[in-house]
């Protein structure tokens, strides 16, 4: 796989939660991690030992947990991928926020770096291209809901031409 590290999706989830807890409380506790992830504390302990062995967290039993620089970098990358994927699902594909969140959580761990870069560029392009924008997303949503509407297409093309008439 074309990912920046070789840790499992589950361990990436732990890093993500530790990062969030660190932001909120300056450190994380096993109990808080277990609550956020809805898992048993014993599962958390095993994951923490694994992350510590990989040099991604600072961990001693019954103590506060913090990310190492490498762990923080991986967590930030997972969170970045999650955000971009969620934005794509919610604002481009017009999925509900819950569906967008669920899909982003699953895909953030397996998407290849090249695909992620391309998806990021695609979102950037959609935001700056005068042929795209919010009305384009609305037209796509209408297409998803109602199918092809030739009258709507003609109106959309006219608006697009008006928006781009000043570009040389």
Domains of the chain listed by start with CATH number: 9-74 (1.10.10.10), 129-168 (no CATH)
Judged on CB neighbours under 10 Å (0-12, 13-18, 19+), 103 is middle
pLDDT in tens, 143-155: 778 887 777 778 7
Residue 7 has pLDDT above 80, yes or no: yes
* pLDDT at site 153: 75
Residue in 14, 103, 94 with CA at minimum distance from that of residue 51: 14
- pLDDT tens-digit profile of 130-141? 667 667 777 777
Query: Residue 95's closest CA among 146, 27, 145?
Result: 145
Give the residue with greater pLDDT, 152 vs 31: 31
CA distance linking residue 161 with residue 155, whole number of Å: 10
130-158 burial, b at 16+ Cβ within 10 Å, e below that, comes to ebbeeebeebeeeeeeeeeeeeeeeebee
In tens, the pLDDT along 40-84 reads 999 999 999 999 999 999 999 889 999 999 999 999 999 999 999
Residue 2: predicted pLDDT: 44
Is 108 or 164 the better-scoring residue by pLDDT? Answer: 108
- Kindly report the pTM of this predicted structure: 0.77
The residues pairing with 66 across neighbouring beta strands, listed in sequence order, are 58
| 85-105 confidence digits (pLDDT tens) | 999 999 889 899 999 999 999
């Amino acid at each position: 796989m074309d990912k920046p590290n070789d840790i499992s999706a589950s361990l990436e989830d732990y890093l993500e939660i530790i990062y969030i807890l660190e932001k909120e409380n300056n450190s994380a506790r096993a109990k808080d991690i277990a609550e956020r992830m809805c898992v048993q504390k014993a599962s958390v302990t095993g994951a923490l030992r694994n992350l510590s062995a990989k040099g991604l967290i600072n961990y001693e039993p019954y103590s506060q947990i913090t990310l190492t620089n490498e762990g923080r970098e991986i967590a930030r990358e997972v969170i970045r991928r999650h955000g971009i994927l969620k934005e794509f699902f919610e604002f481009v594909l017009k999925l509900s926020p819950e569906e967008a969140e669920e899909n982003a959580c699953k895909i953030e761990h397996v998407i290849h770096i090249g695909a992620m870069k391309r998806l990021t560029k695609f979102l950037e392009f959609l935001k700056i291209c005068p042929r795209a924008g919010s009305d384009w997303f609305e037209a796509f949503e209408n297409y998803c809901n109602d199918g092809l509407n030739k009258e709507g297409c003609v109106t959309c093309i006219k608006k697009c031409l008006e928006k781009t008439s000043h570009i040389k």
